[in-house]
Amino acid sequence: MKNNAPEPIIIFRDVDFSYNGEPVLENISIEIDRNDFVAILGPNGAGKTTLIKLLLGFLKPSKGTISILGKTPVKARKSIGYVPQYSIFDKDYPINVVDIVKMNTLTSNSLFPSYKNEVTEKAFSLLQKLDIRNLAYRNFHELSGGQKQRALIARALINEPKILLLDEPTASVDVTMEKDIYDTLKMLNRNTTILLITHDVGFVSSYVNKICCLNRYASMHSVAELTGKSLFDIYSEDSKFLRHHCNL
């Protein structure tokens, strides 16, 4: 897909993770290159959430190593823009869109209530880029699902992350909006490595260049090696795909 030589920036080497003695992930060895656009696919309970927590350094592997840009996940946090599912937010919290975006620039030295003008300007230009500038002062929880997703992407981008990690970005979003979000991600993919986790296979395949199948074990496929036709067949039966094509 890319012309330049692949440069792995996320490397899982023989990673195991078990929770209370129960294996959740086993023997994960994957590499993600700079400017890849990767979809991590797996059914519920496949270990997707665990994989995110490992990438963000909230969990440590029981065995094996994870390296992100040559660092440990905790040290690489500043280079990752994480976009969680918007459903985790409390809908009663009074906060507007631009404040949520600006909040992601805070450090432990950010004292007293006001933000620097540069931060506010940057937040507005990101909202512009994501086509939701007119919603800047709206309460986050009054937005539609797709608009919330864009706001959270803007929040992640304000730190100019090298890697964007999205948890189910198209969950509970309608089909048109889903395409819009993927188009936006495709645009961002020009200079950002994108990892998204999903169980919803829809038309993610026409955007990503690699698919990682996850179901306790992981296997990486470049989209080129799977034809569009077979992908759609596969997607109609998720679990079958994972069994047959990922040798699970």
Binding residues for other proteins, per CB under 8 A? 56, 58, 77-78, 80, 82, 84, 88-90, 92-96, 99-100, 103-104, 106-108, 110-113, 115, 137, 139
Give the gyration radius of the chain's Cα atoms.
18
**Contact call for residues 78 and 65 (beta carbons, < 8 A):** no
Q: How far is the CB of 56 from other proteins (least distance, A)?
A: 6
Structure tokens at 7: 């440069």
State phi, psi for 149 to the nearest 5 degrees: -60, -40
Based on CB atoms, which residue is closest to other proteins, 10 or 234?
10
Q: How far is the CB of 10 from other proteins (least distance, A)?
A: 16
Based on CB atoms, which residue is closest to other proteins, 67 or 105?
105
Q: How far is the CB of 53 from other proteins (least distance, A)?
A: 10
Based on CB atoms, which residue is closest to other proteins, 8 or 57?
57
Amino acid at 220: M
Q: How far is the CB of 137 from other proteins (least distance, A)?
A: 8
Based on CB atoms, which residue is closest to other proteins, 17 or 182?
17
At residue 196, the 3 state secondary structure works out as strand
Separation of alpha carbons 234 and 243, rounded Å: 10
Nearest-CA neighbor of 170 among 160, 178, 162? 178
